[in-house]
Chains A and B, each alone.
Chain A
Amino acid sequence: SQQGEEDPQALSIQEGENATMNCSYKTSINNLQWYRQNSGRGLVHLILIRSNEREKHSGRLRVTLDTSKKSSSLLITASRAADTASYFCAYPSTSAAGNKLTFGGGTRVLVKP
């Protein structure tokens, strides 16, 4: 299977509920980043978690990283209709050039008002 896989692929929730999505990867990483993409628009950086961090918060977002399981999760608490978007995990390569991001396939989140 491809690296940087998110699950679920799609998620539909009611406003006010929490949304959780997961990302798995196969290589060693220095950090993992989460991005949001509204339909047909650009990628907005949400949060970066480093390999020596287990959990990070930013507003209503909580990201965890488990390097032993090569997985990360993104939790959006108290979701709003405006959170409707696709969410992608991405991580940089660890080569000497080291800076290309590999993206997962994304989770499409629909928050119903």
Chain B
Amino acid sequence: EPEVTQTPSHQVTQMGQEVILRCVPISNHLYFYWYRQILGQKVEFLVSFYNNEISEKSEIFDDQFSVERPDGSNFTLKIRSTKLEDSAMYFCASSAGTSGVTTDTQYFGPGTRLTVL
């Protein structure tokens, strides 16, 4: 069964460093998302991406964050200058977009645990 994959599974970085989290969405999906979950807290929406542009973003997704679909398969989240509070599990998700965007199932990857020291 097709699945969303993410790499790396765990990333440790120093405060102020740039990190790129990578995702390979399900191949025929059209909508892509990033969420994060700080330890012990709710899963929070960061950004959605469709047709090579951001369709929606949250307050969390400030100028330090960017997303890109550099080729036909990868979807990346870049944090330019990491802060301690960016430590979290980051989930990529994708949805097909065929049954109407608001009724689609979103399929999540296994997550990347980001630790900022």
Where the two chains meet, the residues of A that have a C-beta atom closer than 8 Å to any C-beta of B are: 2, 4, 30-31, 33, 35, 40-45, 48, 50, 88, 90, 92-95, 97-106
Interface footprint category on B: 20 to 34
CA separation between A92 and B105, bound complex, in Å? 10
Tell which of B14-22, B38-46, B69-77, B79-87 binds the partner: B38-46
Given A99-B56, A100-B33, A100-B58, are A31 and B108 neighbors across the interface (CB < 8 Å)? Answer: no
Contact: B106 with A45, CB < 8 Å? yes
Set of chain A residues within 8 Å of B56, measured between Cβ atoms: 93, 95, 97, 99-100
Where the two chains meet, the residues of B that have a C-beta atom closer than 8 Å to any C-beta of A are: 31, 33, 35, 42-45, 48, 50, 55-56, 58, 89, 91, 93, 95, 101-111, 113
**Given contacts A30-B103, A97-B55, A103-B35, could you give 7 more A-B pairs where the C-beta distance is less than 8 Å?**
A4-B42, A41-B110, A42-B111, A44-B108, A48-B103, A92-B102, A100-B45
